[in-house]
Amino acid sequence: MKKIQRIIRNVPLHWVGDGFPVRSLFSYGSGNEFDPFLLLDYAGPHQFSASNEKRGVDVHPHKGFETVTILYQGELAHRDSSGGSGHLGPGDVQWMTAGNGIVHEEYHSEAFTRRGGTLEMVQLWVNLRSADKATPAKYQDLRDSQFPRVDIDGGAGSVRVIAGQFGDAVGAASTFSPINVWDLKFRSGANATLKVPVGHTTIVIAQSGNVKVNESPLKAVELALFDRDGDSITIESETESQLLVLTGEPLEEPVVGQGPFVMNSREEIHQAIRDYQAGKMGHLA
């Protein structure tokens, strides 16, 4: 069984743009302990009033990694310089590979802005190997209906497989390195032992409810990080609960980041800045 390395609690909230009230549960500035994951922002749940003014984040660049946005409540609209665009509703996922450079914008959808409502989402940054950081930018627009659902043994709950594999079910998202992204729902009073890969960085985020992970309490919005040894974790739910489970094979490469760019050296960061300033990451139509 994997041992808990640490639990992250009481993360303060801050705003990204004027549309995303987030708690940053980890980021690449804290070192490589979350490798291959770079950052995780948990936004909401937050109630927005009806408005005629756009809310979100205006055009900005990325390079050297992937952004994964999982929407649970609300609606988002996305455009990027690779030609990718999409409207996300509850359960949908956008998986954007920044690769050798991209610019994009993220806003609440026009309809959601006008009527108001609750927004809840996760944005995850996944690092790319050095050899993949020059890959052309691309966009995966993934609908909730594309993700397989699997019952957890013993009737404890269910798993929605976004990426990777759970049992025989394979997630719809395409990844550059071995990772798993699972949405878990547990019924009250249930317990289960989950098999996870030996050697993977393994993270559990409680989104709602109260659970015990390897007998340690975890509640919304808290995160448990596990040692890489071992092949399982145990979860006991005291209430109906929703969890996000991430596992990933560490890349074990240098991580040098500055804002929206994550590379392997300071010179590569300087080059990324020059490329963006020269318009080499493209433009929105």
Which of 119, 154, 159, 153 is closest to 243 using CA atoms? 159
Q: Tell me which amino acid residue 218 is.
A: L
pLDDT for 268: 98
pLDDT tens, per residue, the chain with 285 residues: 999 999 999 999 999 999 999 999 999 987 789 999 999 999 989 999 999 999 999 999 999 999 999 999 999 999 999 988 889 999 999 999 999 999 999 999 999 999 999 999 999 999 999 999 999 999 999 999 999 999 998 899 999 999 999 999 999 999 999 999 999 999 999 999 999 999 999 999 999 999 999 999 999 999 999 999 999 999 999 999 999 999 999 999 999 999 999 999 999 999 999 999 999 999 987
pLDDT tens digits along 213-240:
999 999 999 999 999 999 999 999 999 9
Per-residue pLDDT at 29: 80
Question: What pLDDT does 30 receive?
Answer: 72
Q: What is the pLDDT of residue 51?
A: 96
User: Residue type for 32, please?
Assistant: N
CB 262 within 8 Å of CB 64? yes
Residues 6+ away with beta carbon under 8 Å from 202:
2, 196, 225, 226, 228, 233, 245, 246, 247
| Half-sphere exposure of residue 139: CA atoms within 13 angstroms, side-chain side | 20
Paired strand residues for 275:
none
Which pLDDT score is estimated for 1?
A: 95
pLDDT digits (tens, 9 = 90+) for 54-85: 999 999 999 999 999 999 999 999 999 998 88
Res 32: pLDDT: 87
